[in-house]
Chains A and B, each alone.
Chain A
Amino acid sequence: EAGVVQSPRYKIIEKKQPVAFWCNPISGHNTLYWYRQNLGQGPELLIRYENEEAVDDSQLPKDRFSAERLKGVDSTLKIQPAELGDSAVYLCASSLAAHSRETQYFGPGTRLLVL
């Protein structure tokens, strides 16, 4: 069974440029999460989807970040415009159900460097 797929794996951009990350969760997983992991820190939740609905986006910086999950499968996270402080690893995870009793499975992440 394929795991969570993310692309691109690496991205280098100049500040003020837009960038987008893509995630394909494990087949059949209804819940999808986006996390951001800064260097030397644990991941922090940005947004959680249940099917196509964003049910928790309280930690998403809405002035420059946006996300979508069309048809309740793949998801895209966008930053526009990017700032130097956005350099981090962006991780996507999925689980069978919404509540935390289920294991979350993580993708390899997209490592973003903003110059």
Chain B
Amino acid sequence: KQEVTQIPAALSVPEGENLVLNCSFTDSAIYNLQWFRQDPGKGLTSLLLIQSSQREQTSGRLNASLDKSSGRSTLYIAASQPGDSATYLCASGGGADGLTFGKGTHLIIQP
């Protein structure tokens, strides 16, 4: 059974800093790796989707990488802003199944 782990569980940094969120998974036979953002009391918003054949995806200040062989993905946020404060979830896609999620990283950007 796939297990997804996210480190750190919580992170607080000053505005403007670059930061990295980590995600690891136990079964490398994935179809894709997806990063979501969740604001308090809200649903999940998809940020980046990396297919298994890809190494990275970029969207604005966000860059996600995927290393299937080592079972790792990272989400890089450049020039962080207070509006980036949220919980970030990574999830592995295993074919026709639903997604397997990590517990998330709770991020606070201090103004």
Contacts and interface: CB of A to CB of B under 8 A. Distances in A.
Contacts, number: 67
Interface stretch (B58-66, B73-81, B95-103): B95-103
A37 B34 CA distance: 17
B96 A55 contact: yes
A100 B103 contact: no
Contacts of A56: 96-98
A43 B90 CA distance: 11
Interface residues of B, number: 27
Contact of A100 (B36, B97, B102): B97
A104 B100 CA distance: 12
Interface in A69-115: 91, 93, 98-101, 103-109, 111
Interface residues of A, number: 27
Interface in B55-111: 89, 91, 93-104
B99 A104 contact: yes
A61 interface: no
A111 B102 contact: no
Interface of A: 4, 6, 33, 35, 40-45, 48, 55-56, 91, 93, 98-101, 103-109, 111
